[in-house]
Amino acid sequence: MTDFPLAGMRILVIEDEPLIAMDIEELCREHGATTVSCIRSNEEARTLDLTVVDAAIVDLIVVDGSTVAAATLLREANVPFIFSSGHTRPGDLRDFSDIPRIDKPFSGAALIDLLAATIQGGKASRRP
């Protein structure tokens, strides 16, 4: 990957742990993202304008429960995304077996590499 694999990208982070969200935001900016929006709940996700999001990093469980509904909205909008999680139960991702997942704790390099690869893979299906 290049030094700036997220160059010019607008990244959404759904993460309820403030320190993790801040670390992810900084990582994305260091790798070229121009905008990083961090939200911590499904309620906030429901009000988002996904036309201004190029890719997302989604914690599987946040303060108000599973983010499956938010992930469904991202999928319907053709926004490439990955799951990050410290805990998954069998069946949590049954309908999202095609979505890449990174387990916490993860390295910053692994997170950025997976997100960049997901974005590259999703460019063919991304809306103009």
pTM score, two decimals? 0.91
* Residue partners of 82: CB distance under 8 A and separation at least 6: 56, 57, 58, 99, 100, 101, 102, 114, 115, 118
How many Å apart are CA 97 and CA 45, to the nearest integer?
21
CATH code given to domain 10-122: 3.40.50.2300
- Give residue-wise pLDDT tens across range 71-108: 999 999 999 999 998 876 667 778 898 999 999 999 99
- Provide the residue-wise pLDDT of the chain in tens; the chain has 128 residues: 468 999 999 999 999 999 999 999 999 999 999 999 999 999 999 899 999 999 999 999 999 999 999 999 999 999 999 999 887 666 777 889 899 999 999 999 999 999 999 999 865 444 33
What's the confidence (pLDDT) of residue 94?
83
Predicted local distance difference test score (pLDDT) of residue 127: 37
User: Do the beta carbons of residue 15 and residue 57 sit within 8 Å?
Assistant: yes
Going by C-alpha positions, the residue among 87, 85, 94, 93 that lies closest to residue 114 is 85
Domain boundaries, the chain: 10-122
Residue 107, exposed/middle/buried by CB under 10 A (0-12, 13-18, 19+)?
exposed
The pLDDT value recorded for residue 2 is: 61
Task: Give phi and psi for 19, each to the nearest 5.
Answer: -65, -40
